[in-house]
Structure 1
């Protein structure tokens, strides 16, 4: 049942990606491109849809930090996010580049874990590393392409980043590195008989290359990464896992949604409040930039918790409540 939930989410994410590529990549063949306002609406919806997948980190961290109270864990989590936001706001492009790089690794590791759970594929270190890089394509390729809208948002987040992205060597290097790693990962997956892994990498590449950069990332974040991550969470939260085992998938989804509801609302409220108080103008690109800054800040403690759980699952064999990528404590179907 747990494998079925992940498989279903994977199918939905693929169809959503195909639909996005067809709807937004038609400009290459003479079909009118998306308007700027519609593209930003899609971006906003994608970012909002991605928020809940990390909204239960506090439960995961509390279980890992045995003996620590939920209040202390939440305070530490919020503190790390606040420090990251301050650095992203005032420390220049260096902090942003560091967080984006770590995010790409986090996203790629998540893709590797999904491929393991769906197919049982355990590639060697070189192929695994290539798969991680290939799995981050929906972030790396939009960065490399840096369309006009993306550049405007990047400039709003950090003017130095926009200048860095405008330098030709960086986009070319990112694109070449992704293509090389994707070729290695796809070849290895096909050789080992795991065509679905190759398909996912190809779809990530198509989205990253063909859709408008901001749309590509937002759709992937909310409709691919978050969707698949949430399906994995169903298998490791005790209540959800029990419901799945009894065949009550809808009830398991509802339970996870209830657990994530208040934290998600808090994050969305914070984004709205920051946009309200810090934006000098009602420009939509600046609003998107503020939302991205907050989400990136929240990604820092999220990555820490996921890595913590990954390391803990190496030595523990009992399922933990709420998990991220690489949860070897959970039996693979």
Structure 2
């Protein structure tokens, strides 16, 4: 690919590809595996700094889409958002394995949107299934251990199921990659190809950090900011910061109340992933509502 075409790629594609290649090289040559506590620490910092802000603009998106206009509507929106998030936390507390499986399914639908403008629906679902399933193919024991931390001993079954999904999706991804190459869809080809490379060499948490924080979140955040008038973008950044800090405070309170004391890495991992699940549901519902509303608006 020429240097000119590389410059035309989205910035998140270039950043993600560079980070994935570097991680694959370093981890492939490393004499020992990266300690689990270090992986969790890396996940925590990256999700807080780079991951959470992409959903912190949901109130602005809702107002722009006409979901509310007045301050009272803003209060109602935030209360409803928090109520949905807490309902997800409660469901995970009562039905941890079912909640884990549903979260994986919701995540597949949500992450498939990263290629909404480039791939057909069936191609997007293959890409999302491969994205989620590949770590279980190459690091089955590690994924099973993470699932046990999140949802208890019975969660090994979910890891086995995810591995099966990953194997099928990985095979189905080959023709998708060939079709993107034939159509010269370089952005999609690079992203999916680097995801496969990363899944082979990076442990699951590192894989998730690089994908979620360097590709998915920046893409969504850049698209949202691009919708705002130039004079409003600085206030959007401040709003993202305020909502991110508020989310961290709420997550810390919920973790302190609901999670038992014990291994710090396990508590942090559980807080992060259950917190992401709790935020993903209202975020996904808002995105679905705005997409349908836009689809019904005449050109």
TM-score, scaled relative to structure 1: 0.78
State the 1:24 CA deviation.
2.3
Question: 2:144 corresponds to which residue?
Answer: 151
Moved more, 138-147 or 176-185: 138-147
- Evaluate the alpha carbon distance shift between residue 11 and residue 310 of structure 1 in structure 2; reply closer, same or farther with a 3 A threshold: same
Distance in 2, matches of 1:163 and 1:235, equals 42
Distance in 2, matches of 1:283 and 1:44, equals 12
**Which runs of 5 or more structure 1 residues have no equivalent in the other structure?**
244-250, 319-333
Distance in 2, matches of 1:172 and 1:166, equals 6
State the 1:160 CA deviation.
5.1
Question: 2:222 corresponds to which residue?
Answer: 231
Q: Retained in 2: the 8 A contact 1:142–1:214?
A: no
Q: How does 1:222-301 map to 2 (within 5 A)?
A: 222-237=213-228, 239=229, 242=230, 252=233, 254-277=234-257, 278-301=259-282
State the 1:159 CA deviation.
1.5
> Which among 16, 19, 28 is matched to residue 16 of structure 1?
19
Question: 2:43 corresponds to which residue?
Answer: 43
- Give CA-to-partner distance per residue, 1:206-249, whole Å, 9 cap, x none: 22232101221122111211111111112112x3xx35xxxxxx
- Give CA-to-partner distance per residue, 1:87-130, whole Å, 9 cap, x none: 01211311220122111111012x213xx3xxxx4x5x4xx312
- Give CA-to-partner distance per residue, 1:286-320, whole Å, 9 cap, x none: 321122111111100000011111111213368xx
Higher helix share: 2
> Which among 288, 293, 296 is matched to residue 307 of structure 1?
288
Q: Does 1:60 align with 2:61?
A: yes
Distance in 2, matches of 1:166 and 1:153, equals 9
**Which runs of 5 or more structure 2 residues have no equivalent in the other structure?**
1-6
> Which among 18, 26, 29 is matched to residue 26 of structure 1?
29
Q: Retained in 2: the 8 A contact 1:138–1:216?
A: no
TM-score, scaled relative to structure 2: 0.86
Question: 1:326 corresponds to which residue?
Answer: none
> Which among 182, 185, 200 is matched to residue 173 of structure 2?
182
- Give CA-to-partner distance per residue, 1:64-104, whole Å, 9 cap, x none: 31457111111111111111111012113112201221111
Q: Retained in 1: the 8 A contact 2:89–2:275?
A: yes
Q: Does 1:130 align with 2:131?
A: no
- Evaluate the alpha carbon distance shift between residue 6 and residue 132 of structure 1 in structure 2; reply closer, same or farther with a 3 A threshold: farther
Question: 1:325 corresponds to which residue?
Answer: none
Question: 1:7 corresponds to which residue?
Answer: 10
- Evaluate the alpha carbon distance shift between residue 161 and residue 103 of structure 1 in structure 2; reply closer, same or farther with a 3 A threshold: farther
